[in-house]
Amino acid sequence: MADIIDTLKQKYKTGNVITRLLFINTLVYLVLKVIVVIFTLFNIHTVDPVTFLGVPSHVPILLSRIWTIFTYMFVHEGFLHLLFNMLWLYWFGQIFLQYFSGRTLGSLYLLGGLAGALLYVVAFNTIPYYTGMDRGWMIGASAAVMAIVMGAAFYRPEVQMNLLFLGSIKIVYIAIFAFVIDFLSLGSPANPGGHVAHIGGALLGYLFAMQYKRGKDITNWMSRLLDGLVGLFKPRIKKTKMKVEHSRTETDWDYNKRKHEEQEVIDAILDKLKQSGYSSLSSEEKKKLFDASKK
């Protein structure tokens, strides 16, 4: 058992941001399940741990539980709810990381979750259909995941994904289909808060993609905030009187531009290879093709 725990710890430490989000969501799900079982066995009904972490639609309760705008996006009550959200996160997260850093993905996850919570609270306090419902609460990572889905899909709409029975389909069509389903379900009595939150996360992801194409990263402030929070828990290293040469860190925008230019060069070489054969390539082109094959 100790070996399994050590292995999981190592995978978490060495994994990317997707791996860590999968671990966190799964761990929260399991811990809450254990707590619910214990509460049930000892007839503890004063506090529901799941609803205590869910974001409430009633503003006074929300103000007394402000932490829920963050915690709700890591909480799932049912296994299938967790499974489908994590599958979407994994599939589209892998595509997202081809163009952006893990830091950006983590920030967009949180911003998408916050956007979903905001739209949920606003809708259930202003729209007549929702205000007539009983005051409730909402949980799930769907809004945060939808931000990743829409961000990847609308930044690189030409990317395709292979689906069972359907073949290769552009991810932008998958994202639009998911959005339309949620929109058409807004008037459904089944999971009304969830569909509203999905819309909020999706709109945030779309906004991110459109703004990034114009040279603006709307996740920057969240990334800086997270860096500051992480820095608070890092052990302080004693400063030494040695000369340090500072170099400018490559931003996501510069990295993405460089990768796009490199890909255009490789595509041109591949076109030449198809038309004239390998012998037509120059030594420099052969080297670039070889280096690209190792990445």
Instruction: Give me Rg for the CA atoms of the chain.
Output: 23
As separate numbers, helices (DSSP H) first and strands (DSSP E) second, the chain gives: 14, 4
Q: Is the pTM of this model over 0.85?
A: no
Q: Can you say whether the dihedral through the CA atoms of 170, 175, 179, 184 is positive or negative?
A: positive
pLDDT (mean) for 239-256: 59
Of 113-117, 145-149, 237-241, 252-256, the least confident: 237-241
Please say whether the beta carbons of 146 and 198 come within 8 A: yes
Candidates 207, 181, 177, 205; CA nearest to 195 is 181
Average pLDDT over residues 250-254: 67
Look at the alpha carbons of 122, 186, 192, 86 in this order and tell me if their dihedral is positive or negative. Answer: negative
pLDDT score, position 135: 82
Q: What is the pLDDT of residues 56-80, one digit of tens each?
A: 999 999 999 999 999 999 999 899 9
The predicted pLDDT at position 264 comes to 79
Q: Please compute the mean of the pLDDT values over residues 235-258 and round it to a whole number.
A: 61
- Scanning the structure block, which residue is given the tokens 């769907």? 142
Task: Tell me the percentage of the chain whose pLDDT exceeds 90.
Answer: 64
Q: Across all residues in the chain, what is the average pLDDT?
A: 89
Residues 254-280: pLDDT tens digits? Answer: 777 677 778 778 878 877 777 777 677
| 3-state SS class at 166 | coil
pLDDT value, residue 197: 97
* DSSP H or E stretch at residue 6: helix 2-14
Domain ranges for the chain: 2-230, 252-293
pLDDT band for 249, please (50, 70, 90 cuts).
low
Q: Is the pLDDT of residue 281 over 60?
A: yes
Is the predicted pLDDT of residue 244 greater than 70, yes or no?
no
pLDDT of the residue at 5: 84
C-alpha neighbours within 13 Å on the C-beta side of residue 20: 10
**Fold entry, domain 2-230:** Rhomboid-like fold (1.20.1540)
Alpha carbon of 271 to those of 9, 224, 252, 280: distances in Å? 45, 42, 28, 11
At 275 the pLDDT is: 74
Please write the tens of the pLDDT for every residue from 142-175.
999 999 999 999 999 999 999 888 899 999 999 9
214's tokens: 């114009």
Least confidently predicted of 17-26, 213-222, 228-237: 228-237
How far is Cα 156 from Cα 154, in angstroms, rounded to an integer?
5
The full 3-state SS of 273-290, as one line of letters, equals: HHHHCHHHCCHHHHHHHH
pLDDT of residue 3: 80
Q: Residue 94: pLDDT band by 50, 70, 90 thresholds?
A: very high
- pLDDT range class, residue 194, cuts 50, 70, 90: very high
Which tokens sit at 81? Answer: 């709810």
pLDDT of residue 251: 66
- Look at residues 23, 79, 32 and name the one whose alpha carbon lies nearest to residue 51: 32
Burial class (CB in 10 A: 0-12, 13-18, 19+), 279: exposed
Cβ contacts of residue 108 below 8 Å, gap of 6+?
A: 96, 147, 148, 151, 204, 205, 208, 219
How do 160-163 and 167-170 pair as beta strands?
antiparallel
3 state DSSP class of 10: helix
DSSP summary character for residue 56: E
- The helix-helix angle for 79-96 and 102-126 (nearest 10°) equals 130
